[in-house]
Structure 1
Amino acid sequence: MKRVFTIPILFFLSFLLIIYFILPSYFDFKSLRQEVSEKEIKVQEQKVYLSNLQEISENLEKETESESLEKIDFALPDKISFASLLNFFQEKVSESGLILKSLAQTKTSVFQLEEEEIPSRPKPKETYFNLNVGG
């Protein structure tokens, strides 16, 4: 008879101990797993957002570069006419109320600027002028 009562009581006590020790750990584990999944979702969203930003940035660079090059190509003449360039300088000097004393084409620049060379782009042809203006 004594055995009949002790076995159910032991089962009940073991069940209570399991609930008391294991259940809180299980709930902690479940909440941590949920936090991890939320953070993984946030990381995925940030990756998508950053990839979209990168794609937009590349598109803007391409558009800006092509627009700038088109504007430059449109503004620059195909052939250089030194007569029209001389006329342009003379008009601008006279608009400023000055007198053009001399205009000479030189082979080198008076100013030596250090520029970074970009290997993918061809170097433009450089022409230097010395303008002497008085007024």
Structure 2
Amino acid sequence: MRLILNVIWLIFGGLWLALGYLLAALISFVLIITIPFGFAALRIASFALWPFGRTVVDKPGPRPGALVGNIIWIILFGWWLALGHLLSAIAMAVTIIGIPLALADLKMIPISLLPLGKDIVPVDQARQDPIGVPR
């Protein structure tokens, strides 16, 4: 089922959203000081291409620079990427088949706004404790 949803997602919205993240990454790499944002945007672009079967988790350990970085991210890229997800979710929710896709779009809004200090992992890995024991 994940494969079918991912293929439909890729055709009807994932490719365009991933291109938005790739544009944000390109701008970040050109501005040099925002290179960490570029890596975050590339990570999210892969998530935007194939979201079903993966989820977002907090990275372990303290992240003191993540708050300041996330504020800068929101100002530079986050608001328009989140808006893209919101508009895409509205368009996908028009049909019954598109409702799971719209929910995936809405699930991606928090990481599009605050990507630093987060990691994208397979759903099976997120269900395990940090030491690898299933919950």
Q: Would you call these one fold, judging by a TM-score over 0.5?
A: no
TM class, shorter-length? under 0.3
Q: Under a length normalisation based on structure 1, what TM-score does the superposition of the two structures give?
A: 0.19
Taking CA–CA contacts closer than 8 Å with sequence separation of 6 or more, which of the two structures ends up with the larger relative contact order?
A: 2
